Chains A and B, each alone.
Chain A
Amino acid sequence: GDSVTQTEGQVALSEEDFLTIHCNYSASGYPTLFWYVQYPGEGPQLLFRASRDKEKGSSRGFEATYDKGTTSFHLRKASVQESDSAVYYCALSDGSTGNTGKLIFGLGTTLQVQP
């Protein structure tokens, strides 16, 4: 079945550091890829999505590029802030299974940014 793998379980950085969170996926069709962010006590919320090969999604300084060749959608930010501390989830929605909109999530990466 479809799956999403996030390499890093936890990432600890200082403010203004560069962030990379790796995401690789496995899907039978041509999925839409998402990054969601979850703050304590809240549900996940959409950061951005990409639906086509080489498409770049971006929001709030975060960005990721859909790479069908390497089946990846790595999250990057040039300069993190303490307020970016949260759990980040990579996810996919595979339209080949009936256009359901059901999301398959990775296990999440906890980002802790020190001031």
Chain B
Amino acid sequence: NAGVIQTPRHKVTGKGQEATLWCEPISGHSAVFWYRQTIVQGLEFLTYFRNQAPIDDSGMPKERFSAQMPNQSHSTLKIQSTQPQDSAVYLCASSRDWGCAETLYFGSGTRLTVL
């Protein structure tokens, strides 16, 4: 079991460019989460899928950010027209089920730097 796989590990974009981040959850896990990690804000919830269906995107900035899960083996987080304040580590996690006591298994993250 390779764990949650995130690619790329590092991404550098220029201001205004698009960034797409990829996540492969653990096989058999039914819930996928995206978090953003910064020094100032810590770990912020962005969005969550259950059996590929979007359930809660309350943490997603309303403009420029979108997430999809086209099949059970991967999810993407897309940021259009990136801004310097989008610089952060973006973490993907999966869990076997969606109960409140479930363990989240995190990937190592994608470090996004917007110049």
Contacts and interface: CB of A to CB of B under 8 A. Distances in A.
Q: Do A and B come from one complex?
A: yes
Contact of B108 (A41, A46, A108): A41
Interface centre among B4, B42, B100, B101 (most CB of A within 10 A): B100
A112 to B, nearest CB: 16
Contacts of A79: none
Contact of A100 (B43, B48, B91, B105): B48
Nearest to B100: A95
A99 B99 contact: yes
A46 B31 CA distance: 16
Interface of B: 4, 31, 33, 41-43, 45, 48, 55-56, 91, 93, 95, 97-109
Interface of A: 31-32, 41-46, 49, 51, 89, 93-95, 99-108
Contact of A107 (B4, B42, B95, B109): B42
Contact of A99 (B4, B93, B98, B107): B98
